[in-house]
Homo-oligomer: A and B are copies of this chain.
Amino acid sequence: MNHHLKKASIISIGNEVLSGRTVDTNAAYIARQLRTVGVPVVSSYTVPDEEAAIQRALQLAGQDADVVITTGGLGPTDDDLTRQAFAAYLGVDLVLQGDLLARLREFFERRGRAMAEKNTIQACLPTGATAIENEMGTAPGLMVEREGRLLLALPGVPREMRHMLDTVVVSRLRAMASGQSVVVRRLRCYGAGESNIAEMLGQAMRRGRNPLVNCTASAGIITLEIVATGPDRGQAEEMASAEEAALREILGSLVYGTGDQSLAEVVGQRLTQSGRTLAVAESCTGGLLAKLITDVPGASRYFAGGWIAYSNEIKTRELGVPQELLDAHGAVSEPVAAAMAQGARRKAGADLAVAITGIAGPTGGSEQKPVGLVYIAVSGQEGTDTPKYVFPQDRSSVRLRAAQTALDTLRLRLEV
């Protein structure tokens, strides 16, 4: 293979993808992984479970790219036609492989099941192709070179596809890539909008720059992706580190973590490090905050638990919120949020407690207290802070933003 910059094209195969019954997450996953080895995806095709359509897509993708990756159509049923389409495209036969068949039979035996005759097709390969072992299922992938192009067929089941891609394909592509090394780093930010962050970064986000900085936003979390391309891994790492330091300098405490870290993970780390424990009292988020906290394995080390104080009775009886506060200020108010946090902290015997009360909507808002109004109280030894927010949009956005902001408030408190 020659050493110009390699490009890739993806073909997603399957009626369930085309009809919209399944959203295709495979293509995005493959594109992200290939970028880390410096092989950008330049086109992508989705085709039905039809041999002719797959064959045509292989031709088109081969015009676009040096590496063509298909997903799907490797199952044992009659509408799994990827193997046949590869053979037709290559102009070769599909040949039964004794060793693959033995491995398939073994796979079923280990599970105490007999192999159906249908599965035999999964042990067939186009002449000249090699199998890629599937450690997560029955269908082996396949890999074949043709006219300087590398063609790969991977399963459609995301778990099987990802494992095969990560363990076999990525290293193979790294070896054949252009000699340029690519390092990708992610900084995760919270507390400012996408456009604010873009403004703060200015020139750093210019297109065509190296390192390149991409920005994506999801549920209030801004992810900055640094893509550094250098002549070798060491230099690319160095460029990425310098860029990361520059961005951190500008963004300060807006940066809460790296990679795929969630706010709850960072809060968990800081609680563990400082040996402190946490409790929650949730009204409008109704368990979402606690759910995010306990998404993190091992959360029981620092998370005591808490109350879903949806009704006023639970607020007063269980958390000791004075009825007079509720009468005077209403359930969605600063003093009630503070009293909920203090009550949760005291009753759980925790070092810190967070309480959330607000109006998630779609109904229940008023002029003084609109939908989206949320009070977040953080109570600790040093006292109780109760910032007020108005989050935009629908019920699920308000709830998610409220829970994330509660975690962020806690993170900043734990920084001190």
Chain A interface residues (CB < 8 Å from chain B): 16-25, 27-32, 35, 40-48, 53, 60, 79, 207, 214, 216, 225, 280, 282, 284-291, 293-295, 297-300, 303-311, 313-314, 317-318, 347-349, 361-363, 395-396, 399
Contact = CB atoms under 8 A, between A and B. Distances in A.
A43 B290 CA distance: 43
A332 to B, nearest CB: 12
Copies of this chain assembled into the complex: 2
Where chain A touches its partner, the secondary structure class is mixed
A99 to B, nearest CB: 29
Contacts of A25: 23
Nearest to A403: B291
Contacts of A44: 18, 45-46
Contacts of A32: 19-21
For the complex of A and B, list the 10 residue pairs with the smallest distance between their C-beta atoms, beginning with the closest.
A286-B294, A287-B290, A20-B31, A287-B287, A305-B310, A20-B28, A20-B32, A44-B46, A287-B291, A305-B308
Nearest to A347: B318
16 contacts: A19-B35, A20-B28, A24-B24, A286-B293, A286-B295, A286-B303, A287-B290, A287-B291, A287-B293, A287-B306, A287-B308, A294-B310, A294-B399, A297-B361, A314-B348, A318-B347
A29 B347 CA distance: 47
A40 B299 CA distance: 47
B305 A309 contact: yes
A252 to B, nearest CB: 24
A30 B21 CA distance: 11
Given A20-B29, A305-B310, 20 more contacts: A16-B214, A18-B31, A18-B41, A21-B214, A24-B24, A24-B28, A42-B48, A286-B299, A287-B291, A290-B310, A291-B291, A295-B396, A297-B395, A303-B311, A304-B310, A304-B313, A306-B307, A306-B308, A308-B308, A318-B318
A3 to B, nearest CB: 23
B304 A290 contact: no
Nearest to A33: B20
Contacts of A317: 347
A280 B305 contact: no
Instruction: Identify the interface centre among A45, A300, A305, A361: most chain B CB within 10 Å of its CB.
Output: A305
Contact of A313 (B288, B290, B308, B349): B349
A288 B286 contact: no
A31 B19 contact: yes
Nearest to A21: B216
